[in-house]
Copies of this chain bind each other. A is one copy, B any other.
Amino acid sequence: MTEPPGRRERKKAATRQKIADTALRLFLERGYDAVGIREVAAEADVAVTTLFSHFASKEALVFEQDEDFEQRLARAVTGRAPHEPLIPALRREVHALVRHCTADGAAPIWRMIDESPALRRYDESMRLRHAETLAAAIAADLELSRTATVGRTIARFVVDAYALAREAADPEAAVDEIFPMIEAAWEAGRSRVRA
Contacts and interface: CB of A to CB of B under 8 A. Distances in A.
Interface in A119-167: 120-121, 124-125, 128, 147, 149-150, 152-154, 156-157, 160-161, 163-164
Nearest to A152: B164
A154 B185 CA distance: 11
A180 B188 contact: yes
Interface residues of A, number: 31
A41 interface: no
Contacts of A124: 121, 124-125, 128
Contacts of A157: 156-157, 160, 185
A109 interface: no
Given A121-B121, A121-B125, A184-B188, A178 B160 contact: no
A174 B189 CA distance: 12
A183 interface: yes
A182 interface: yes
A184 B156 CA distance: 16
Residue from A120, A125, A154 with most neighbouring chain B CB atoms (10 Å): A125
Interface of A: 120-121, 124-125, 128, 147, 149-150, 152-154, 156-157, 160-161, 163-164, 168, 174, 177-178, 180-189
